[in-house]
Structure formats: C-alpha cells, structure tokens
C-alpha cells in the first residue's frame, strides 16, 4: 500500500497531485492489433526505479518514499522564529538568511494551490505567539483576513518582516 501524501512537503494526494514521471516499465503478454498494443491488456506489468513528482513542492523522489510502512511523516510545529522555517517546510533553498526572494517567488507561483495558504496561516500563528518586536498587531490583523486570495498577497508582501 502507498501513503498518498508527499514525503517532502506533507501535502495530501488531492492537493499534491503526485505523479509517477519516470522509471522502467515492463509489460508482457499483450495481443498485437492493427493499431499496436495496449499496456492495459497486459497479463503482466512490472515497474522499477519509479520517480514521483509532487506538484506542490515541485520535488522529485523515489516511489519507495510513498510506501506505507509506518506512520506518515510529520512536521515539527513552527516555532515562529523567522520566515526561513517556512522556506524549509516548502523545501525552498535560500542562499542566505536575509534573502527572501526564493521563498517569495515560490509563494507567488504556488499561492493558489490548496494547502499553501493553510501552511502560511499556521506559520503566521506561530509568529503571533512569539513576536516580541511590537509587530504583533500587524500579524493579528493579517490573520483576520478570511479569504485566501486576499490573504496571500499581503502575506507575501510582509514576509521579509516576519521574524522574532
């Protein structure tokens, strides 16, 4: 059995759109027809070295990482230190601790996908809980924005100020 969540970002299958994109595929015992043959008619079908792609975090990984051989991967709760926690959760590499550009580009390109706004809201809640900078009223106001399509542009714009 397979676990239908991305092992890299934790997105569930209905969000992550996990797709087998490469591997060695072998099919046999198919009838040849005028238009060729169909693998769905094969009496035996085998695969090896399958590679899966997650459309949320845009990462590739071996299919074996989806095997349901134990508890689902879990992520540590956000501590609310700074935006780099969010970059790590989404698997976005940042060149240095002051460069939010890669994370901003990632969020701008993925903000309409299910699960992205919820993760950003979870991170914002951690920032609110730990903020000693005096910006807490700003974060609390942002957290009150109900529609994700309104929330995300403001969240992205304020991202570089999200640290405690």
- Is the pLDDT at 73 greater than 70? The verdict is no
Alpha-carbon span 41 to 21, nearest angstrom: 21
- Check residue 109 and give its pLDDT: 85
Q: What is the mean pLDDT of residues 47-70?
A: 76
- Is the pLDDT at 71 greater than 70? The verdict is no
When the pLDDT of each residue in the chain is averaged and rounded to a whole number, the result is 82
What is the phi/psi pair of residue 27, to 5°?
A: -130, 145
* DSSP symbols for 17-57: --EEEEEEEEEE----BTTB--GGG-SEEEEEEEEEEETTT
Q: What is the mean pLDDT of residues 72-79?
A: 72
Between the alpha carbon of residue 111 and those of residues 17, 41, 122, 127, the distances in Å are 15, 41, 14, 19
- Check residue 18 and give its pLDDT: 80
Question: What are the structural domain ranges in the chain?
Answer: 13-66, 84-161
Please report which confidence band the pLDDT of residue 15 belongs to, taking 50, 70 and 90 as the band edges.
low
The pLDDT tens digits of the residues spanning 125-142 come to 999 999 878 899 999 999
Please report which confidence band the pLDDT of residue 92 belongs to, taking 50, 70 and 90 as the band edges.
confident
């Amino acid at each position: 059995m397979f676990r239908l969540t991305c092992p890299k970002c934790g997105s569930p299958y209905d969000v992550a759109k996990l797709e087998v994109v490469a591997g060695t595929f072998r099919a046999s015992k198919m009838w040849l027809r005028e238009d060729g043959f169909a693998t769905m008619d094969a009496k035996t079908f085998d695969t090896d070295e399958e590679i899966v792609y997650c459309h949320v975090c845009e990462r590739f990984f071996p299919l074996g990482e989806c095997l349901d051989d134990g508890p689902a991967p879990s992520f540590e709760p956000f501590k609310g230190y700074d935006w780099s926690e969010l970059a790590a959760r989404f698997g976005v590499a940042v060149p240095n601790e002051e460069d939010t550009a890669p994370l901003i580009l990632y969020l701008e390109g993925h903000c309409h996908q299910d699960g992205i706004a919820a993760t950003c809201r979870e991170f914002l809640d951690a920032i609110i809980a730990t903020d000693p900078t005096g910006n807490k009223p700003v974060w609390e106001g942002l957290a009150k924005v109900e529609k994700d399509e309104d929330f995300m542009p403001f969240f992205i714009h304020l991202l570089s100020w999200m640290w405690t």
